Amino acid sequence: MNQMLDINDDGDSNLDFLGQLESLGSEQNNRMTFLEGENDEMFFNFYYPNVLTEQNGVPIIRFVTESVSLFVDFNENTNQFDISEQNPPNIEVGEIISLDLIDQLTLEVIINKNLYDFQENEWKAVTVNYQFVRGLIST
């Protein structure tokens, strides 16, 4: 994350989004699927806060995953994938900013999203970086 937050209500603010999710018992999946073909397609699971209810103005949150499919074109000049289509079109996880190829097996996805900071007791707009290990499937 680009700023320190306490998203798991343990009293400790830090920059480790996935580490805080781990402490909530969320099993993480850092693998993505890449289908190479006429139209290259990527499949990811991203986490987002699902507000179950509120108690005295404080949300009770469970982090769930949303499966996202992206049709992409690789831009060799920027080493990024450009998104040509996204399913579902309106995703709960936030706004995907970029898909950067780190190396032949690693992809970094940068997303703007809103997360609740339990130390400040407010929702904050943050940038979260996910890193995925790529699995290549040719079609």
- More confident of the two residues 136 and 66: 66
- Backbone phi and psi for residue 19, each to the nearest 5 degrees, phi listed first: -65, -40
Print the domain residue range for 73. 17-138
Report the candidate in 93, 98, 64 with the shortest Cα–Cα distance to residue 80: 98
| Count: domains in the chain | 1
Cα Rg, the chain, nearest whole Å: 16
Prediction pTM value: 0.84
Mean pLDDT for the stretch of residues 51-71: 92
Is 70 part of a structural domain of the chain?
Answer: yes
Is 94 part of a structural domain of the chain?
Answer: yes
Residue 138 pLDDT: 38
Within a 13 Å sphere around the CA of 137, how many CA atoms are in the beta-carbon half?
Answer: 9
Q: Is the pLDDT of residue 88 over 60?
A: yes
Is 126 part of a structural domain of the chain?
Answer: yes
